[in-house]
Amino acid sequence: MSAYDASMTEPNPFRVENCSIERTLAVVGEKWTFLVLREAFNGVRRFADMQAGTGAPRQVLSARLARLVEEGLLRKVPYREPGSRRRDEYRLTQKGLDLYPIMVSLMHWGDRYEADPDGPPVVLTHRDCGSPIEIALRCADGHEVPSPREVTPRLGPGARLAG
């Protein structure tokens, strides 16, 4: 997947029927799910707080939480406030935590193109030194890869070409 020359009969010779992006989208590729995940990354764990943070209708939130638990991105952890019944919180699993680069990328693009004129509302910083966080594309040899144009797709071991 890169910006690619279209002077071929098949516009995309890397069109696979088991595309990983599409697999990811099947799990998280819609607004409410992303917002739930955003809340989870912000440490929000309880239903009511998730609802306040996302603005999702309860039915939508309930369904998304159940789905994310089922898919293994969130797990339920029981808790009980004094005076209340036992309830569950929702916490990110490692599988869920590994979505972090996606969330940061979404934020940075929004910071750049959709933020208010005052600038970004939240800045992510390195806990140890305080410098802002960046997302970098590089190759395994350590080269910087600043643009999609310097990326060449290759068919991988699991490639199944589509019609």
Site residues (CB under 8 A) for a copy of itself, limited to 65-84: none
In the complex, minimum distance from the CB of residue 72 to a copy of itself, in angstroms, rounded to a whole number: 8
Residue nearer to DNA on the CB measure, 9 or 131: 9
Nearest Cα to Cα of residue 74 among 55, 52, 96, 53: 96
- Binding span for a copy of itself by CB under 8 A among 62-70, 80-88, 126-134: 126-134
C-beta of residue 75 within 8 angstroms of C-beta of residue 91: yes
Residue nearer to a copy of itself on the CB measure, 52 or 66: 52
Q: For the purposes of burial, counting CB atoms within 10 Å of the CB of 91, is it exposed (0-12), middle (13-18) or buried (19 or more)?
A: middle
In the complex, minimum distance from the CB of residue 103 to a copy of itself, in angstroms, rounded to a whole number: 6
In the complex, minimum distance from the CB of residue 85 to a copy of itself, in angstroms, rounded to a whole number: 19
* Interacting residues of 69 by C-beta distance below 8 A, sequence separation 6+: 75, 76, 90
- Binding span for a copy of itself by CB under 8 A among 3-11, 59-67, 80-88: 3-11
Nearest Cα to Cα of residue 23 among 88, 95, 108: 95
Residues that bind DNA (CB under 7 A): 30, 32, 46-49, 56-60, 62-63, 65-66, 80-89
